[in-house]
Amino acid sequence: MDLNRVRLVAKREWLTRLRQRSFQITTVVQVLFVAIGASVPTAIALFSDDDVAMADVLIVDGTGADIAERLAPYIVPGETAGFANGGDTIELIATELTADEARTQVDEGDAAAALIVSRADDEDLAFTYVSDSGDSDSTAQQLYAGAAGISFEDRLERGGIDQAEFEAASAAPVFTIEGRQAAGEVNGTDVSGARVGIAYFFTILMFMTIMLYGAWVATGVVEEKASRIMEIMINAATPRDLLAGKVLGIGLAGLTQLAPMLLTGGVVFALQKPIAEALGADSSALPNIDFGSLSVQGIGWFMVYFLLGFTLYAAMYAALGSLVSRQEEVNQAVSPMITVMFVGYFAAFFTMWTPDSLLARVLSIFPLTAPFVMISRVVISPPPAWEMALSVGLLAAALVVAILFAARVYRIGVLLYGQKPSWRALFGKTLEQTAR
């Protein structure tokens, strides 16, 4: 293999695509979309501030038992109330209004609700919750929990039972939960939704880039054969030089498009908390992850698996593209590669919520599916170092085998100009020796 000829072919492929207007426009649009997508956590935190609703609750206490003050410890902030909709932020307002006046305030919308407290015939506390809808909403549920605690305390006081002694006797036992899971391990129920979203992005990007740039390799080969340029190029370089140069050149074009996109997305994503604080958003609403570390880790491993995965599939795309002479036949020729890629693509989604399952570990090591499955595992739950090393090693070994096989098929394909090579022709010794 002549490295100078490989460099010339690669330079031609790279510059040809960089000069295309569609390539330039697509690159700019992709950078903008990635920047917007990386800002989603900040946007959610920014708008979440507007979702907090205040619920003014009038406390009409006809018992003199300081109900408003005793209820306060039972009220929790709306975002941590534990309800499906987060709940409202409740503000308790002790008032001297009568019960009817408080109901009027609720009817007129001056208060969200009212809690009317009185004593029943048996001297127990009685609570009446008044709201516009009359539903048992999150506010009513919190007030009910507080009312139950206060009623219990009131019965103890009226019964002459010392509350401190009762609390000491009914104190909860010491109950410690100890996990034996190794540090860094994640099971199916502990997977972070934010990390899964990021893994989705990297998996889709890996699939789209390998398929897109691999298709460029296949169509480029067919275009050269159809335009008769191949006859000129084959006299200036060997088929092996052409294959290596084409894969290298288109790979560089792909990196030229990916680099600004990943860099922009990585920087914007890593700066989520400073951006949120600068915009006045609540940074505590952001996912509890290290954005900077995840950006570096995700982008670094994405580049490793993209380079190895793209080269593996691009070599096969070039080999399959060399077997046909018309653009109409390209899709049919590369369909085996697309099928294999789809298997890895959907397998990555299937195993995201169980990243440490046996299926996920096998598929992340198997070379043809590793670029898709392993990148999602790295983001969600970084696997052990030996699995990463084995995955990269097997992928590199498969890459060498694929290049050698693809070079053989490519040589045969470009020499059988205008013919459809049979399996016998592809692996026959006579034609193979001629093609060297």
**Residue-wise DSSP of 7-70:** HHHHHHHHHHHHT-HHHHHHHHHHHHHHHHHHTHHHHHHHHHGGG--EEEEEEEESS-S-HHHH
pLDDT of residue 209: 86
The Cα 391–Cα 361 span in angstroms is: 10
pLDDT of residue 190: 46
Token look-up 């919750």 returns 129
> Is this structure's pTM higher than 0.85?
no
The Cα 415–Cα 404 span in angstroms is: 17
pLDDT of residue 393: 93
Stretches where the chain sits below pLDDT 50 are 49-52, 78-87, 179-190, 430-436
Contacts for 235 with CB less than 8 Å, ≥ 6 apart: none
Q: Tell me if the domain spanning 53-169 has CATH number 3.40.190.10.
A: yes
Output the CA–CA distances (angstroms, integers) from residue 398 to 58, 348, 393, 413, 418, in the order listed: 72, 20, 9, 22, 31
The Cα 169–Cα 191 span in angstroms is: 40
Would you put residue 82 in left (φ > 0), alpha (ψ -120 to 50) or beta?
left
pLDDT of residue 423: 53
The Cα 425–Cα 182 span in angstroms is: 55
Residue ranges of the domains in the chain?
3-45+191-435, 53-169
Asked if residues 407 and 243 have their Cβ atoms less than 8 Å apart, the reply is yes
Q: Which residues of 182-194 are buried (b: 16+ CB within 10 A; e: fewer)?
A: eeeebeeeebbeb
Tens digit of each residue's pLDDT (9 = 90 or more) over 280-301: 766 666 666 667 777 788 888 8
Tens digit of each residue's pLDDT (9 = 90 or more) over 235-270: 666 767 777 787 888 888 888 888 888 888 888 877
pLDDT of residue 48: 59
